[in-house]
Amino acid sequence: MIHLILFGPPGSGKGTQAEKLIKKYNLFHISTGDLFRAETTQKTPLGLKALEFMNQGILVPDEITIGMLKNKLHDLKHVSGIIYDGFPRTIAQAIALDHLLSESEEEIQILIALEVPDQEIVRRIVKRGITSGRADDSDESIIQKDG
């Protein structure tokens, strides 16, 4: 199985690039943002904890993010490959991902780092907030705090 990480700050285009790679290589997309939204919408215990941090513009702690990812990976044992979008964001998350994958005798094969100027990132996220209605995407002070 292919394991590919798209690395970059929020608003750098990870989701956009993931879509292109998914179409070309038929991979499954795991976005921490999508995981957070699914878990918060379903009001799971991990989702409710994550929401407390997201509403303050604070990064969700590793143990919550890793718990969500572990649950998702458990459901994806039969896909041909996975794109990790926005994960890992910390050294602890990278170590946890390596550990999770090693349990299945898997490993990361590819890392793509996206670099975008800060002003462009803020512009993109504010624009995204207008269409998504997400409070954390429409408040520039929260965006600056997250980056």
In the predicted model, is pLDDT for residue 10 greater than 90? no
Measured CA to CA, the distance from residue 38 to residue 68 in angstroms comes to 10
In the predicted model, is pLDDT for residue 147 greater than 50? no
What confidence tens digit (pLDDT) does each residue in 43-76 have? Answer: 999 999 999 998 898 888 999 988 998 888 888 8
Domain positions in the chain? 2-116
* The predicted structure's pLDDT at residue 143: 61
Contact present, 9 and 88 (Cβ < 8 Å): no
Q: What is the mean pLDDT of the chain?
A: 86
CATH of 2-116, one of 3.40.50.300, 3.40.1390.20, 3.40.605.10, 3.40.50.1000: 3.40.50.300
In the predicted model, is pLDDT for residue 140 greater than 70? no
User: Look-up: residue for tokens 């890793």?
Assistant: 66
- Annotate 1-59 with DSSP letters as a single string: -EEEEEE--TTSSHHHHHHHHHHHH-PEEEEHHHHHHHHHHTT-HHHHHHHHHHTTTPP
What confidence tens digit (pLDDT) does each residue in 86-131 have? Answer: 789 889 889 999 998 998 899 999 999 999 998 888 888 888 877 7
DSSP state of 86: S
CA distances 87 to 90, 139, 141, Å, are 8, 23, 23
57 sits in the region (left: phi over 0; alpha: psi -120 to 50; else beta) called left
Contact present, 121 and 10 (Cβ < 8 Å): yes
What pTM value is reported for the model?
Answer: 0.72
